[in-house]
């Protein structure tokens, strides 16, 4: 009984800690800013119909937190997946051995073995700002590229379907991921960041530290605090044709989740949208589009339970990997 109590305390600490962590997008700062932005947008749109004087707080709250979204069966699954993944990924993280530091040390060590010794340096604020921007660009490209691969590689897509099977979107949908997908994404980002850090270290010196805010790279923290939680929401916010070509707006990410064929495999970016221009996957919405979220209707039933969200991808991957052997064993007549 005592062990069970300790377990539930650990679960509470793992999940609750995120909401108190100012560096996380679930933290109080990011959540509050997202709520303020959403409130202003919804209130402005509502006032066009009723006028500011007739704006009812109850109506505003209902539009910000509609029961049809936050109490939807898909949203309830998001909440459970969030809790379960916090436990699973916690145990994976504390035993993880792959990190950007390991890759960076490998690059520096290899360069040293080839006779290129890294030099010590006392960086200026300007150098630290440049280095921080450099790391942010690497992080964003690697995360966007990993996202691209999740759609293009069949095995990875089976894992990523868990995220795309959400039929409504709330901030918790951002955490609706299969643990194996989360591991893949972390490894890709660690690889790119490690290579980038190692190369910079060899060329410019060892003492350069990026500018962090609450333990997070400042540029990434700023992006998360500027409305990241609205990417997974029912509120349509577009930055306009010009800025949508530079930054991925919440509307563009909602389009990414659409089941409409014209929206397939579009807008993979996290912070910047020019990666999508590079990939040829940029989609610029010209007006507020009514999008339906999810995956192919034939597959949806398998993803409407916790068992299906965790087991179905593994079963499908097994079928993909063993397909060549089954064909050899049972050749077509």
Answer for the pair 185, 143: CB distance below 8 angstroms, yes or no. Answer: yes
Write down the pLDDT at residue 333.
46
What residues form DSSP beta bridges with 293?
258
Local structure of 308: helix, strand or coil: helix
Cα 188 from chain centre = 13
Q: What confidence tier does 160 reach under pLDDT thresholds 50, 70, 90?
A: very high
Answer for the pair 234, 253: CB distance below 8 angstroms, yes or no. Answer: no
Taking the C-alpha atoms of residue 162 and residue 188, their distance in angstroms, rounded to an integer, is: 19
For the segment 115-129, the average pLDDT, to the nearest whole number, is 71
Q: What confidence tier does 41 reach under pLDDT thresholds 50, 70, 90?
A: very high
167-196: pLDDT as tens digits: 999 999 999 999 999 989 988 998 898 888
> Of 93-97, 103-107, 207-211, 239-243, which one has max mean pLDDT?
239-243
pLDDT, greater one: 13 or 39 = 39
Dihedral (CA of 26, 31, 37, 42) sign: positive
For the segment 47-71, the average pLDDT, to the nearest whole number, is 89
For the segment 135-145, the average pLDDT, to the nearest whole number, is 95
pLDDT, greater one: 2 or 37 = 37
Task: Indicate the average pLDDT of the chain.
Answer: 85
Tokens at 307, concatenated: 């068992």
Answer for the pair 181, 159: CB distance below 8 angstroms, yes or no. Answer: yes
For the segment 239-264, the average pLDDT, to the nearest whole number, is 94
Write down the pLDDT at residue 142.
95
Tokens at 159, concatenated: 């894992």
Q: What confidence tier does 200 reach under pLDDT thresholds 50, 70, 90?
A: confident
Residue 99 has pLDDT above 70, yes or no: no
For the segment 136-160, the average pLDDT, to the nearest whole number, is 96
Q: What confidence tier does 63 reach under pLDDT thresholds 50, 70, 90?
A: very high
Residue 135 has pLDDT above 60, yes or no: yes
pLDDT, greater one: 37 or 108 = 37
Write down the pLDDT at residue 27.
87
Give 37: exposed, middle or buried? Use CB within 10 Å, 0-12, 13-18, 19+: middle
Residue 156 has pLDDT above 80, yes or no: yes
Write down the pLDDT at residue 64.
95
The residues, any chain, with a CB within 8 Å of residue 313's CB and separated by 6 or more, are 158, 159, 161, 162, 178, 180
For the segment 125-140, the average pLDDT, to the nearest whole number, is 91
Local structure of 265: helix, strand or coil: coil
- The number of residues making up the chain comes to 333
Tokens at 102, concatenated: 């390991």
Lowest mean pLDDT among 45-54, 106-115, 218-227, 288-297: 106-115
């Amino acid at each position: 009984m005592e062990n069970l109590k300790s377990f539930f305390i650990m679960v509470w600490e793992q999940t609750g800690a995120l909401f108190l962590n100012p560096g996380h997008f679930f933290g109080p700062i990011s959540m509050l800013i997202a709520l303020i932005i959403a409130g202003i947008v919804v209130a402005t749109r509502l006032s066009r119909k009723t006028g500011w004087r007739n704006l009812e707080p109850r109506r505003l709250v209902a539009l910000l937190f509609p029961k049809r979204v936050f109490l939807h069966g898909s949203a309830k699954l998001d909440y459970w997946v969030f809790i379960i993944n916090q436990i699973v990924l916690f145990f994976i993280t504390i035993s993880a051995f792959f990190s950007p530091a390991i890759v960076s040390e490998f690059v520096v060590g290899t360069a040293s073995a080839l006779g290129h010794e890294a030099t010590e340096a006392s960086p200026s604020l300007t150098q630290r700002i440049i280095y921080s921007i450099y790391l942010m660009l690497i992080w964003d490209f690697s995360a966007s590229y990993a996202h691209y691969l999740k759609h293009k590689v069949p095995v990875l897509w089976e894992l990523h379907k868990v995220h795309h099977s959400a039929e409504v979107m709330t901030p918790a949908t951002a955490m609706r991921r299969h643990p194996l997908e989360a591991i893949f994404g972390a490894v890709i980002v660690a690889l790119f960041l490690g290579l980038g850090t190692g190369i910079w270290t060899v060329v410019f010196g060892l003492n350069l530290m990026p500018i962090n805010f609450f333990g997070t790279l400042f540029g990434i923290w700023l992006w998360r605090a500027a409305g990241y939680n609205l990417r997974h929401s029912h509120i349509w916010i577009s930055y306009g044709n010009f800025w949508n070509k530079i930054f991925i707006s919440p509307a563009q990410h909602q389009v990414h989740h659409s089941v409409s064929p014209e929206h397939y495999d579009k807008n993979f970016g996290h912070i910047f949208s020019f990666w999508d221009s590079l990939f040829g996957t940029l989609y610029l919405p010209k007006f507020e589009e009514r999008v339906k979220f999810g995956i192919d209707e034939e597959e949806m039933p398998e993803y409407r339970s916790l068992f299906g969200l965790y087991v179905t991808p593994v079963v499908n991957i097994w079928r993909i990997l063993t397909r060549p052997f089954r064909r050899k064993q049972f050749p077509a007549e």
